[in-house]
Amino acid sequence: MKRDLQSFADNVIESCTRFILDIAKEDGDYNDSFTKELLEKVDESLKQHWKQCKSRFEIDLKLHICSIASTEFLQMHRRYLLKTDPKIQLEKYKPQYLSDFLNLYMKRDDCQRKATDFVQLCLKPAVEEYVSSSLGIEIVEDILTSSHSTTYSSRNYFQYNIQKELLQKGDFQGFVKYISKYEMYVKDWIFQQILGKISESKTLYKLKNKNLEIIVQKITEATERASKGDDGVLLPDDTQSITELINNMRRYLINDISISVEAEKRTLFLIQSTCHPFTKSLITSLREMKEQLQEEFSSADITETLHKLPVKPHQELFNKVFGCGQQCPFCKVPCEAGSKEHEKHHAAVHRPQGLGRCRKISSEKLVATLCTTSVHSEGHFKCSDTKWELHPYKNYTKYYPDWHIPPDYSIKASDYWKFVLVQYNDRFAEEYKAKPADVPQDWRKITKEQALKGLKDAFNMPVNKYL
């Protein structure tokens, strides 16, 4: 019991830590809703996978996870304070204020410098936000229209491709993670697929550059339009008209970007230039900003960029193909329902139960029997949900009323999972702290090619595809 409880706790802690780190990477401030959502995530795991845990275990688990969260969220909050602390901001802009004073004192023309500062401090952050805002969805659309589209066309194709790759790589730890940490494995697999795709084709740079071209063109047109009043006449060539120019730009670009009023006031403080030369300098600085961003895009860290996008493409694809996420309580096969709204969890093909850590009570050997066979038999099982008391397989719905496991002795396991259990029997036993399963002799004759055919049959894959 302790061993299984520790394994469950480790999985919940790892999943929640990832959730915490994903939030902490964002640029905003901490919000109480983060902790509320985190605790709801723990409650959902306890409800789904460890219903009979003691309150002390639940409290200790939540305290441990919250201790991790408090450290990361505190760092997140401190980073935000550094960005918004008035004293730090004053220190940051001290050189700018000094330059403003010297220009004013010496009556120097500050037109180009002010235009450059306005572009860098007011427009550039807004442009970067515009470029990133739709990037996640555009990456998803690019993948769904590429050669990878079939993988995400249905949950069957998706599961088939994952399991095919595991078989071809012969990755034992991959099998363990896929079975025991299904959600995390799927998320990691999707992320790596996206990473490979956009790295190979430079998709990220192309999409960023496309969005950059669009918004720079809009800002340039808005600047030229804003340099005139509503009557079409050029604004007066004086310092006061610069404020009207910026207000007009803000009005014309309201549906595309948000120009910070605070940053504008700070940047244009003590400006001595007049409107017409400032407008020309602004357009020049826009071109320079575009070239600067293009260079930054070409050297950007793809992994970091993906994690910081407001809409994360790997999460979008995960939501599309993952389904409800529930796993069979005995063999850990995932539910095949395409969404979370269904009456019963179900799977067409179950695995040998030993792959889901089930072992015989007397011998501690991994169980090679299928769940469908067990619920048709007179056998018994025990686990944390039964409080480690024997319970008939036939009456499994007492503890798992949301699952439908058809009681059929004739149903056979896919050759794929037979092959996997035979191939890694000793290693699964070592991993699960059990003894190897007694596998039928005919399972030992299954080849890798037959296992792949069994996988195709299980997911009804066309004979002429995915060879």
Where exactly are the structural domains of the chain? 2-85, 107-322, 324-458
* DSSP-based three-state secondary structure for 392: strand
Residues 359, 434: contact at Cβ < 8 Å?
yes
User: What is the predicted pLDDT for the residue at 220?
Assistant: 95
Q: How far is CA 467 from the centre of its chain?
A: 30
pLDDT per position as a tens digit, 225-276: 999 988 889 999 998 999 999 999 999 999 999 998 888 888 887 788 899 9
Helices (H), 309-377: 313-321, 371-374
Q: Tell the burial category of 254 from Cβ atoms under 10 Å away from its Cβ (0-12, 13-18, 19+).
A: exposed
DSSP state of 335: P
Residues in CB range of 368: below 8 A, 6 or more apart: 352, 353, 354, 421, 437, 438, 439, 440, 443
3-state secondary structure 129-185: HHHHHCHHHHHHHHHHCCCCHHHHCCHHHHHHHHHHHHHHHCCHHHHHHHHHCHHHH
Encoding tokens for residue 247? 């207000």
Q: How far apart are CA 159 and CA 334, in angstroms?
A: 10
Query: Which own/partner contact pairs does 321-324 have at CB distance under 8 Å and 24+ positions apart?
Result: 321/152, 321/154, 321/155, 321/158, 321/186, 322/155, 322/183, 322/186, 323/155
Give 466's DSSP letter.
-
CA dihedral 121, 124, 129, 132 (to 10 degrees): -150
For tokens 């063999």, what's the residue?
Answer: 331
Structure confidence at residue 466 (pLDDT): 41
Q: Classify residue 107 as left (phi > 0), alpha (psi -120 to 50) or beta.
A: left
Predicted pLDDT of residue 227: 92
Q: Is 235 helix (H, G, I), strand (E, B) or coil?
A: coil
The predicted pLDDT at position 338 comes to: 67
Distance CA 5, CA 383 (A): 10
Distance CA 308, CA 312 (A): 8
364-176-432 Cα angle (round to 5): 20
d(CA 23, CA 31): 10
**371-416 pLDDT, tens per residue?**
888 888 888 888 878 888 899 999 999 989 989 998 876 555 678 9
Percent helix, strand and coil across the chain, each to the nearest 5: 65, 5, 30
Amino acid (1-letter code) at residue 437: A
Q: Which amino acid is at 127?
A: V
| Residue (of 222, 233, 238) closest to 278 by Cα position | 238
Give dist(CA 116, CA 122) in Å, integer.
Answer: 10
What confidence score (pLDDT) does residue 104 get? 59
Distance between terminal CA atoms of the chain? 43
Residue with tokens 């550094």: 82
- The pLDDT tens digits along the chain (467 residues) read 566 677 778 888 988 998 898 888 887 888 889 999 999 888 888 876 655 566 778 888 999 999 999 999 999 998 888 877 777 777 777 776 666 666 655 555 578 888 998 999 899 999 999 999 999 999 999 888 887 788 888 888 888 899 999 999 998 999 999 998 888 899 999 999 999 888 888 889 999 999 999 999 999 999 999 999 888 899 999 989 999 999 999 999 999 999 988 888 888 877 888 999 999 999 999 999 999 999 999 988 898 888 888 888 998 998 888 878 788 888 888 888 766 678 888 887 888 999 988 888 889 999 998 888 888 888 888 887 888 889 999 999 998 998 999 887 655 567 899 999 999 999 999 999 999 999 999 999 999 999 998 888 888 887 654 44
Three-class DSSP category at 288: helix
In angstroms, the CA 328 to CA 147 distance is 32
> Cα–Cα distance between 282 and 241 in angstroms, integer?
14
Query: Strand, helix or coil at 238?
Result: coil
Q: What element of type H or E holds 57?
A: helix 55-84
| Of 265, 263, 18, residue with least CA distance to 120 | 263
Output the six-digit token pair for 62. 């939540």
Q: Looking at the chain, how many residues does it have? A: 467
Do residues 460 and 156 touch, judged by C-beta distance below 8 A? yes
According to the model, what pLDDT value does residue 108 have? 56
Residue listed under structure tokens 């007694």: 438
